[in-house]
Structure 1
Amino acid sequence: MKKIGLYVLLTFVGIVILSILSGLRNPMYQQLQMFDYQAFNVYHTYFVLCALSFGLLLGWRNIASLIKEGPKINLLLIPSVLMLIFIFIPYAYWTTHFGDLGVLSFVSSHDVRIALGIFTGLLLTRSFRKYLDDN
């Protein structure tokens, strides 16, 4: 019964995160259409935080073992931190400071940013295991 309650709680938290993510999408695009880039960047940060939180939620078992056993860092921490930096910087800043990203221009899509945020959350949870082959 305790396990079912945990799964119900995790499902509820996941649905809340996804509904917040869905609710942020329209105001974010409205700010972009009004050329209010400062407000857009705030919404973008919340957007990425929600996607990252959902990815962390998917790796809840790794977080539980991190709390129980303490951190055991592996090499996945390096790409996960790099992706974390990458997804938090809005695309407009990348193109302003570094020019067009060429092959990586697909990351301008917010749908891709959601996927990268979830993937980064999963990578972060898996980077705190001692071995990569642990489940």
Structure 2
Amino acid sequence: MGQQPLPDGTREWVARLLATLEEPPPPKPATKRGPPARAELRLAVYSAANPGHEAAALVNLAVPRSREDAPWAMRALRISDLDRFHLDGAAFRGPTPLQVTGDPPTADSVSLDGGSFTASGGRSTRA
């Protein structure tokens, strides 16, 4: 089945319709936000140092969004050159205060619930 010409008046109708559409607004510039005040630990993986690989941790956190009624988002953080990793079962009990030292998105340490989870090292990046 080949292309068929548009019925009479269709081109004009489409042109009038397109003329009434507004251009979408320009995208909002990204705002740099610091780390949230609280987070919920979902996953913490430790990889020990071995020849050719430094010690590292991968952390998945559920974090609140800016709107109170919005669902929480997942944020992954990989900490390389790890020198401390401490994990207690209490870290998984729900949302707790989050402490990040350093300048996000690279940080020197991440701590939840006053130390029930702590990972610190030379650098961290979003995974």
TM-score category, normalised to shorter length: under 0.3
Larger Rg: 2
**Larger relative helix fraction:** 1
Choose between structure 1 and 2 for higher RCO, CA contacts under 8 A separated by at least 6 residues: 1
- Please give the TM-score of this superposition, normalised by the length of structure 2: 0.22
Q: Which has the higher strand share?
A: 2
